[in-house]
Amino acid sequence: MKIAITGGIGSGKSYVCQLLTQHGISIYDCDSAAKRLMRTSLVLRQQLTELIGPDTYDAEGQLNKAEVARYLLLSEQNAQAINVIVHPAVAQDFQESGYQWMECAILYESGFEQLVDKVIAVTAPEDIRIHRIMQRDGITREKALEWIHRQWSQDKVRSRSDFEIINDGRPLEPQIEGIIKKIMS
């Protein structure tokens, strides 16, 4: 059985995944995989450079994250153009990886729910998410909201998911253990 952990930016997906690894669960991280593939795949490098421009990679061949983020946030069409290039590579990488669990912030937006059998949504109140994003990324409240609104609403994600972990300060372990028991039974 393949399982995905999803949730909006700042919901605490990565923290929940850290807790899951303490239960012996290995998790494929779609964000890390996308960054790795954008850095190492010559095909992706070429396609992204053609799409975004010559500043997509620096002189040492490192991905210029600020340039990619700038391009992505200019319009929904730009975000979709990047996704059309990157998502198929990540999907193939996951399928070839042997992992049973994946962490994917944009599971539904990317169509990756087709790759899994069950979905766990991690949710948190918006004010907590904004605070986490501002602290983690050193950005303004407005920029944090911009990132939040680029993704599906928590209600929409929750309605399509099989399980929910509420990350609002209440204990996470009992929620995680309950879900693991249901999945494994």
182 is in an annotated binding site: no
Q: Is 65 among the annotated ligand-binding positions? A: no
111 is in an annotated binding site: no
Q: How far apart are CA 121 and CA 105, in angstroms?
A: 10
CA distance 116 to 110: 13
Residue 178 is labelled as binding a ligand: no
11 is in an annotated binding site: yes
- Cβ pair 144, 11 in contact under 8 A: no
Contact call for residues 29 and 153 (beta carbons, < 8 A): no
Nearest to 177 by CA among 13, 29, 19: 19
Beta-strand runs (E) in the chain: 3-6, 27-29, 101-103, 118-123, 163-166
118 assigned ligand-binding residue? no
The answer to whether residues 167 and 12 touch, using CB atoms and an 8 Å cutoff, is: yes
**Which parts are annotated binding residues?**
10-15
**Which parts are annotated binding residues for ATP?**
10-15
